[in-house]
Amino acid sequence: MKIQQSIKTLTKHLPILFGFYCFSMPISAAQLSVVTEEGSLQYSKDNEITGIATDLVKAVLEQANITGDFQIYPWTRAYNLAQTQPNVLIYSMARTPQRENKFKWIGEITPLDYKFFRLKSNNSINPKTLEQAKKFRVGVINQGAIHHFVNSHGFNDVSVVSNSSAHLRVFLNKRVDLIIINSLRLDEFCQNTKIDCDLIEPVMSINEISKGLYMALSLKTGDYIHHQLVTAFQKIKSQGTYQRIMQTKDTAQ
């Protein structure tokens, strides 16, 4: 009789015990799909994905004891994966008002300073407000932060391309009047694409979307993993790892 009661008691508490076990399992049992696009902060080299943003994400994952499968995709595909699939980490992504509730944010990789740029040869293109900018043709990357920004502000004359190279090529060929670029990384962008930055100049800042590039998780990723990564990000900042990674970038320029 006592044995039967013990079995009943154990069976009754099995769901609780199982839930506790799952919660206390080491987080390394999970693997994240880590997605990004080719850019100045992350890029493929010698069949490896590298760059300071990649180094930072790897440091956070290591601190959290989480493994990641890194892949470079066109931005549209990376963004869609992070919106529709569980256990996806995406970087480097602008944290805009339109995206705020679509992801679980981990931490800022680098600040942003977005501006409208024109070719110096087109000095007649000189907007001072967003309303004036709408009179010109603007080039954007599909599903990028700027694409969402111009759509939400009613820009109608917009040229949409698939990647950064096409974006710049369309601009230099004068098929668009304006593009929007993070000015803090413009010099590096021009160096990587062998474009003469002296051909380009800023005409207007956009404070609304100059909030920083982040790493973030898909909404379908568990809160526990999110907590682990946020904690890990804060720890590598307090330990000086973040600063060392960024200093490595500065000395390489």
Count of alpha carbons within 13 Å of 162, Cβ hemisphere only? 3
For 126-183, the pLDDT digits (tens) are: 999 999 999 999 999 888 888 989 999 999 999 998 877 788 888 988 999 999 988 7
Peptide bond before residue 92 is cis, with ω within 30 degrees of 0? yes
The dihedral sign for the CA sequence 217, 223, 228, 232: positive
pLDDT of 186 above 80: no
* Position 7 confidence tier, pLDDT thresholds 50, 70, 90: very low
Contacts of 20 (CB under 8 A, 6+ apart): none
Q: 14-18, 92-96, 186-190, 235-239: which range is least confident on average? A: 14-18
Buried/exposed 116-155: b ≥16 CB within 10 Å, e otherwise = bbbbeeeeebebeebeebbebbbbbbebbbbbbbbeeeeb
Q: For residue 210, with 0-12 CB atoms within 10 Å meaning exposed, 13-18 middle and 19 or more buried, which class applies?
A: middle
pLDDT of 78 above 70: yes
Comparing 21-35, 39-53, 198-212, which segment has the lowest mean pLDDT? 21-35
Task: Give me the pLDDT at residue 237, please.
Answer: 96
* Among 93, 32, 72, 18, CA closest to 232: 32
Q: Which residues contact 211 (CB under 8 A, 6 or more apart)?
A: 94, 95, 96, 112
- pLDDT at residue 251, rounded to an integer: 35
Asked if residue 68 lies in contact with residue 57, where contact means CB atoms within 8 angstroms, the answer is yes
User: Please, which pLDDT band fits residue 193 given cuts at 50, 70 and 90?
Assistant: low
Residue 80 tokens, joined: 């869609």
Checking DSSP bridges between strand 200-205 and strand 114-119, what pairing results, if any?
A: antiparallel
The pLDDT, as a whole number, for residue 184 is 67
Q: Are 103 and 216 spatial neighbours (Cβ–Cβ below 8 Å)?
A: yes
Q: Give the residue among 12, 27, 20, 17 at the shortest CA–CA distance from 61.
A: 27
pLDDT at 188: 67
SS (H, E, C) 61-91: HHHHCCEEEEEECCHHHHHHHHHHCCCEEEE
Q: What is the mean pLDDT of the chain?
A: 85
pLDDT score for 18: 42
Contact criterion met (CB below 8 Å) for 91 and 42: yes
Q: How far apart are CA 213 and CA 94, in angstroms?
A: 4
Q: Measuring CA to CA, how many Å separate 11 from each of 5, 16, 23, 245? A: 10, 10, 19, 51
- C-alpha–C-alpha distance, residues 120 and 166, integer Å: 20
Res 108: pLDDT: 96
